[in-house]
A and B are shown apart, each in its own frame.
Chain A
Amino acid sequence: MPGKLKVKIVAGRHLPVMDRASDLTDAFVEVKFGNTTFKTDVYPKSLNPQWNSEWFKFEVDDEELQDEPLQITVLDHDTYSANDAIGKVYIDIDPLLYSEAATVISGWFPIYDTIHGIRGEINVVVKVDLFNDLNRFRQSSCGVKFFCTTSIPKCYRAVVIHGFVEELVVNEDPEYQWIDRIRTPRASNEARQRLISLMSGELQRKIGLKVLEMRGNAVVGYLQCFDLEGESGLVVRAIGTACTLDKLSNTSAFLPACNSPSKEMKESPLVHAPSHGCRSTHNSPIHTATGSRLTQNFSVSVPTLIYTGMGSGSAGKEGGPFKTLLRQQTQSALEQREFPFFTLTTFPPGFLLHVGGVVSARSVKLLDRIHNPDEPETRDAWWAEIRQEIKSHAKALGCHAVVGYSESTSICEEVCILSASGTAAVLNPRFLQDGTMEGCLEQRIEEASPPGCGFCHIPYDELNMPFPAHLTYCYNCRKQKVPDVLFTTIDLPVEAIVVGKGCLIQARLCRLKKKAQAEANATSISNLLPFMEYEVHTQLMNKLKLRGMNALFGLRIQITVGENMLMGLASATGVYLAALPTPGGIQIAGKTPNDGTYEQHISHMQKKINDTIAKNKELYEINPPELPEEIIGSPIPEPRQRSRLLRSQSESSDEVTELDLSHGKKDAFVLEIDDTDAMEDVHSLLTDVPPPSGFYSCNTEIMPGINNWTPEIQMFTAVRVSRLSNINPTNQTLNKNFNDLCENLLKSLYFKLRSMVPCCLCHVNFTVALPEDELVQIAVTAVAITYDKNQALQANKAPTEKSQQRASTDNEEQLQFPLELSSDPLSSQPFSPAKEALEGASSHTGIPAAQRDRCNSWIELIKLKAQTIRRGSIKTTTSLEKASPLAEGYLRHRSVPSGTNSTVSVVKMTPLSFLPGAKITKYLGIINMFFIRETTSLREEGGVSGFLHAFIAEVFAMVRAHVAALGGNAVVSYIMKQCVFMENPNKNQAQCLINVSGDAVIFVRESELEVLPAPPPAAAAQPAGSAGDVTT
């Protein structure tokens, strides 16, 4: 009997009238956990009952504690007939099962009914007493923490990042059981909600067990999804990254990071061993793995995108001695694992060494009934196959790991497309092994390439390149090779040096498909897939060039299957990485050069394209440093390069346009127009309207080039369903329709949020579904964050400088010393980044000038600082950390009365892992909720829009209520994973399923931190510092 769950039902309010005669309700409550049920007394004739019940105690296994949700049902007592259910509350008690999270769940929960929505609220208190020592748990995995956040959570430190964990459980969908024919849809939907709640709990427990096996204590980047396979069942699957996390206690020792800097300096030249290959990866042809087994388990794999031929496996052998060593280390660390995958998208500094490119794999499957739910082998095998493919793609890119990894499905009837994608990467092995965190930073510094560009350097082998490509020496360090374009699924590393701002880039595509059954259907889909991937990729590339950028982050390609078409939607954030070469323009070439009018037309379009590129460069402030040809390809001394860089930055924009014209000649990307289709494509390229002034958008966590966020945020979900009403649709008209739909949706968002200008839409996440013939559903969740315009202008002047600062402050976080590297207001003066940072630092720390002169690189500066700290000459250490317990106490003190107060406490929601201008002081547990709403009076509820509007608002309300009950004031990494909407207007019916998740947290405003005793100067005074903090 390892646990005791205690529940108290306090009161209800705003209950619906259940007795028409008296206009009142005789309410009582059933509290159910597992197979045990308790009831409160009936509180007669009141819409605001005060039950004030005793503590209901459930003595249960911890296994049960993890699997089961607490079910609270509010009913209306009826003497003569059956009691009517008013509604239910499901409470996931998982957050109470590990010591560092919440200790009590207490608050007002909306009472939810699948037909009526929210019907009043109920005040509940839940506690858990765990009797056992956590270590003794075997069947259960209590104590393993779960985070949706795809980075190391703010108040933790990663001791070891173990790697990939996955699990799936299957069951029959109650909706499709025989009993469904005799019971009401409501009962059926309630059964589904209950079942999915149960399955999520079980899944989490099983994943937890795997983590314990790996000797980890947490799962980061936990992503749980449902596949509603219809007749064939219900699959709940989850992936995540197992880690061993250490809570950053406030008195915690510094990372053992600051050893013998001088020695490291000597070693550092070793870092850039020569002879690295470069392979342009973007224009590789589609490679379809054949040999599909057209048997019961139909399967076609479509590996695509950035994927460079076979046989380049152990590329490191030709590399320098250090690289080989590194590779071997990484290999040994990673090859023990079946899948060296990481669901993280942001990493501790130094973790990510090189990025190869995007790897993805898809496979088309035919669903059949899951015969034995306890042995979900088929589904497991399907995913294992895909993961294997991803792994081999990564190998081909010379990488041993895949980061930013995610999986998804698209189901239509009996056909299912399984997709997986990630970014091939080379990682620092030190993070992956037990007990080697010591000296990790040392290692990092030793190995790190120049901080802003190291990850861009190609990890694969130049000599084994199957495709000719433009390759250059890194524009930043001039020592290693970089590709001309980089696509990734991860967030922009904080240390990356970016020119200008980023922007959201989308590729949209529709392909008609014949209606077909079973295998024929699957075959036609898998025949279409490679072409779609290719076109999506081409579109992305063109749009990227059109914006004068050279890298994509956060790339997510979604292929959705419908009855008679396939849709592809790729979203990513384009940026200009200073390390990569300036992208060439786009040049159009016609096939029939003798036709005069045609030529004229072509040249007209060419001009339009050139104008767009020039305009975009201005819009996104892309003024890359101009480097003379002779320098390219030969390493130049760093100081010289830096000074050049700054000079060209201060040049007027007139020169920039001059520069643009040259791109057309240099290494242009040629688009051949050989038929009308291609012409359409070019036209569609130019239809993307830039966001109105004052708006930026991206689908990554942070907007490159903006770092002075103000605390005002607005998270939102928008859903649109449109009918593609063409009688004889062609691919072109469909494309246009789809494109318009997305553009209009974006336009609508900009208009709605116009009061927040200047602001940026971050983490813009589009989800496409094809619920029926001719119906397209698009759901968008994003957060709008305002920023300070004045400071933005300042930042624009010296983007590289800023990012450099960001990198440095980020480093401070790692070091746990709040150094005031960039707190000096003078730091925006046009010094070279390294020098300027140094200047700022040394003026604070009092490093002797002679010593200062010796430091000519940023890394050395950090080492020097570390040394200085060890000598004890800096007294500002840990002040920031010290503040947090106070802050937490302060907050708790304030939030306790607010729970009982009548006013509702505000809960922020954001898809990001941080809150601008705030510090997360505690993670309270994962929020993972699943709701179904149905109606049989669609018109009366305001039609489909009214119905869904109310439902989404209700889902938000229930998430907020749960967070508030846990004692939190925000949800971070919020995501709406599923929104399945079905309607039957003829019957006046509709139904919708929504699945959301996120991390409940407590945050404290930095301005409040300031109020507390001993305000940390570093945290209080510098916007750059806070940006560094929140983006770690």
Chain B
Amino acid sequence: MSSDLDVFVGNTTLIDEEVYRLWLDGHSVAEAVARRLRGGVLEREGTSVAVLQSDTRDHYRTFQMLERLLHAPPRLLQQLLFQIPPERQALLVQRYYAFDEALARELLGKKLSKGTKKELDEVSARTGVGIRSCRRQFDNFKRVFKAVEELRGPLAENIQQLFLLPPALARDYAAIVFFANSRFETGKRRLQFLSFGDFAACAQSMMAHWSQGALAPEAAEPDGDLPKSFLQDLKELKVLVSDKDLLDQHKRDTSGMGVPVLGGPGFGGSLGGGVPALSRALVNVGGKLTHARDVRDFFVDLVEKVIEPCRSDKWSPGDLRLFLTHYTAAPRNLPGFRHQALWERYMAAISACLLRMYHD
């Protein structure tokens, strides 16, 4: 005797967290049943495999019907079809939009296009995230990206409003959107030591300090794009390295501020040009940001030109912090340097990024 039709509908929609997890992970009904069996539910509840199958199918159907609504979470709140308590709704949304950091790390800076989606098989193999789950997460990234691409104002807040995500998750999505928008290169071998968290933190600092929203909340451009005028202005900073006097003065000021380490033997040793080299690197990174191609290399440059030299010089993170603090502050005393505000705005994000990235 086979059951052709078998449904269970509650006035309050039943959500089984375990089955939801399995569904999100992209398991088929059969796989999900097998996993639940391994979880020992049969022994605990003294039920049968048939019951478990029927239960799993019911939940899967519910989730499939809910998925349409999960694509626009505010609709989940307004819809009349499923009666779900608010805390359950929040849970559904949060779990649906939660992502595997390994996967997100792989996709950071990539164009969220069909082409990328086709490569997900490899990504899935590398990260160990099921292919179906990969696709769902990719679609989530893309959906969020599309939704906020054109919106003004702070990215994270927009995402939070449109997708009802918890603040931390919304900030992570903002980072993903930011990376996808600027297409930063993150896949190079020398960047492999950086985690998703590192990049997300960098993105947040960059948006916090550089985006228009950071200065004028009613800015015209979306937060995901770095403001053109700001990038243009960064060119002015080149004066710090191109003008010999200023460079020397800057170096002196930095070293002269009673920082023993910086004056010590290690300092300037393997750095080659010492502070001037570092300084040139730091300023040039900013100067290059006007060209889209160079923007992509932002993180590569930081690692190659700053982090690796420092590391080979065996600076501790404390050393780097000290250096950056003083280096940022030094131009204040430079005669004829008129870009102090710009400089500090630039260096605030750069410092935050470097400090976050400075680890093994």
Contacts and interface: CB of A to CB of B under 8 A. Distances in A.
Interface of A: 13-14, 108, 110, 118, 121, 692, 714-725, 737, 740-741, 744, 747-752, 754, 775, 777, 902-904, 906-909, 942, 944-946, 948-950, 952-954, 956-957, 960-961, 981
B9 A907 contact: no
Contacts of A752: 8, 14, 55, 58
B192 interface: no
Contacts of A907: 83
Contacts of A948: 5, 7
Contact of A748 (B10, B11, B54, B77): B54
Contacts of A721: 3-6
Given A716-B8, A942-B64, 16 more contacts: A118-B81, A121-B80, A692-B46, A718-B9, A720-B5, A724-B1, A747-B51, A751-B47, A751-B55, A777-B5, A945-B61, A953-B81, A953-B82, A960-B11, A960-B80, A981-B5
A722 B10 contact: no
A903 B13 CA distance: 16
Contact of A949 (B4, B50, B61): B61
A5 B82 CA distance: 32
Given A718-B9, A719-B5, A942-B64, A747 B80 contact: no
B4 A717 contact: no
9 contacts: A108-B80, A692-B47, A714-B11, A722-B4, A751-B52, A751-B55, A754-B45, A906-B85, A950-B65
Contacts of B6: 719-721, 945
Contacts of A720: 3, 5-7
B81 A14 contact: no
Interface string B110-129: 00000000000000000000
B57 A945 contact: yes
Interface of B: 1-14, 45-48, 50-52, 54-55, 57-58, 61-62, 64-65, 75, 77-83, 85-86
A896 to B, nearest CB: 18
A721 B8 CA distance: 12
Contacts of B46: 692
Looking at chain B's contact residues, is the secondary structure mostly helix, strand, loop, or mixed? mixed
A740 B83 CA distance: 32
Contacts of A946: 61, 64
A904 B64 CA distance: 21
B41 to A, nearest CB: 9
B77 A903 contact: yes
B5 A945 contact: yes
A716 B10 contact: yes
B11 A751 contact: no
A715 B11 CA distance: 5
B45 A751 contact: yes
A692 B48 CA distance: 13
Contacts of B80: 108, 110, 118, 121, 904, 957, 960-961
A334 B259 CA distance: 108
Contacts of B77: 902-904
B245 to A, nearest CB: 62
A744 B46 CA distance: 13
A13 B78 contact: yes
A-B complex: 3 closest residue pairs judged by Cβ atoms: A721-B5, A952-B9, A716-B10
B83 A906 contact: yes
Contacts of B47: 692, 747, 750-751
B83 to A, nearest CB: 7
A972 B55 CA distance: 27
B8 A748 contact: yes
B70 to A, nearest CB: 15
B79 A956 contact: no
Given A14-B75, A747-B47, A722 B2 contact: yes
B2 to A, nearest CB: 5
Contacts of A110: 80-81
B61 A714 contact: no
B358 to A, nearest CB: 47
A718 B64 contact: no
Contacts, number: 131
A911 to B, nearest CB: 11
A737 B3 CA distance: 11
Contacts of B83: 904, 906-907, 956-957, 960
Contacts of A750: 47
A110 B79 CA distance: 9
Contacts of B79: 14, 904
Nearest to B9: A952
Interface centre among A723, A737, A752, A961, by most B CB within 10 Å?
Answer: A752
B9 A717 contact: yes
A741 B1 CA distance: 9
B9 A747 contact: no
Nearest to A942: B61
Interface centre among B10, B50, B80, by most A CB within 10 Å?
Answer: B80
A950 B65 CA distance: 8
Interface centre among A719, A737, A775, by most B CB within 10 Å?
Answer: A719
Contacts of B2: 722-723, 725
A714 B10 CA distance: 7
Nearest to A906: B83
A716 B5 contact: no
Contact of B81 (A751, A777, A954): A954
Contacts of B62: 949
Given A721-B3, A723-B2, A944-B4, A908 B11 contact: yes
Interface centre among B5, B10, B50, by most A CB within 10 Å?
Answer: B5
Contacts of B11: 714-716, 908-909, 956, 960
A961 B80 CA distance: 7
Contacts of A902: 77-78
Nearest to B16: A755
A748 B65 contact: no
A629 to B, nearest CB: 41
A715 B10 contact: yes
Given A744-B51, A748-B51, A954-B81, A714 B12 contact: yes
A948 B65 CA distance: 12
A752 B6 CA distance: 13
B78 A718 contact: no
A871 to B, nearest CB: 48
A744 B50 contact: yes
A317 B82 CA distance: 61
A904 B78 contact: yes
A28 B14 CA distance: 36
B9 A953 contact: yes
B95 to A, nearest CB: 17
Nearest to A689: B46
Nearest to B61: A949
A719 B81 contact: no
B64 A716 contact: no
Nearest to B50: A744
Contacts of B4: 721-723, 775, 944
Contacts of A715: 10-11
Given A748-B51, A949-B61, A949-B65, A718 B8 contact: yes
A13 to B, nearest CB: 7
Contacts of A775: 4
A471 to B, nearest CB: 42
A719 B7 contact: yes
A682 to B, nearest CB: 22
Contacts of B55: 748, 751-752
B48 A747 contact: yes
Contacts of A945: 5-7, 57, 61
A14 B1 CA distance: 42
A751 B33 CA distance: 14
A118 B82 CA distance: 12
A979 to B, nearest CB: 11
A118 B79 CA distance: 10
A723 B5 CA distance: 10
Contacts of A737: 1
A14 B6 CA distance: 30
Contacts of A722: 1-4
